[in-house]
Amino acid sequence: MAELRSAVYVAPPIPAIRPPPANITAPWSPISCTLIYSAQEAVLVDTPISIKQTEDLIKWIETIAPNRKLSYIYITHGHGDHFFGLPLLLKHFPKAVPVATSATVEHMKQQIQEPYFSETWEYRFPGQIHRPFVVAQPLSQDSGLQFKLQDRWIFQAIECGHSDTHDSTILWVPDLKLAVCGDVVYGQVHQMLFEANTKAKREEWTRAIEKVEALNPAYVVPGHRQAEEIDGVWHLAATKKYIEDFGRVLEKNPKDAKEVIARMMELYPDRYNTGALALSAVGAFLTPKEARI
């Protein structure tokens, strides 16, 4: 086997405790972890949240690509649900180097600061996140935000701006025409617009997707998707349309978050995780009306 291959592991949903006033348990969206591998080495993109999810990911890696050196773990953005598995992965694959853009590294550091970590992540997933934490090493701008596998295959980090959070990136693998998109692109899962709660940020997210489209990828891996989905290019248009539809719902002057949820559910009855939609709806009303529409 001289060529590159890729495979995607989707960490299944786990229960998350919603903070007050909800105080209920609801599922967290499934998380995509992408492995790109040759006959000797491999690159992993993103990790799950919990100890159990990460242990299952390690078993999967050893099954799908046994006897490879895991050389790099790339983190697409700073949300904790995409990097909390790093300590366990590095314990099992000690030669792996975790990498990300400088902006993502700073975001990762913010996610583990107190009291933010305890109030946000530990509250949702008590006792399930491995510590001490590990953050990625920043990729050098001098390298063009690139790294190579076996000094042959190029992996290109592309900064995309704001998607469901600030300083989002994708990883582009030109030899496979593969775009591993983190949360720039979603599958059949409700998108998280809690941070993209203004018209300007939604438009920036759309431009981020258009950056991916300009690459003309053959394969597009969403950061959150259902396990059975194929990583097709249609996820790009579908993610853009969801953002546009959310904006149109807000333009109709809904009286509250519940009305936003109801209208989006009419448009997207089959998407998974209404909890993410609920947070998006709440986030929209945390910003002035003139900014959100």
Using one digit for the tens of pLDDT, what is the confidence trace for 18-61? 877 667 899 999 999 999 999 999 999 999 999 999 999 999 99
Q: Determine the pLDDT at residue 140.
A: 92
Amino acid in position 35:
L
Confidence at residue 292, expressed as pLDDT on a 0 to 100 scale: 84
The C-alpha atoms of residue 94 and residue 136 are separated, in whole angstroms, by 14
Q: How many Å from the N-terminal Cα to the C-terminal Cα in the chain?
A: 52
pLDDT tens, 124-176? 999 999 999 999 999 998 889 999 999 999 999 999 999 999 999 999 999 99
Which tokens in the block code for residue 56?
């299952």
Contact 38, 205 (CB under 8 A): no
pLDDT value at position 22? 65
Backbone CA torsion sign across 42, 132, 194, 26: positive
Q: Which amino acid is at 214?
A: A
Q: Are 143 and 137 in contact (CB under 8 A)?
A: no
Whether the Cβ atoms of residue 118 and residue 77 lie closer than 8 Å to each other: no
Please report the domains of the chain, with CATH numbers, ordered by start residue. 5-192+216-231 (3.60.15.10)
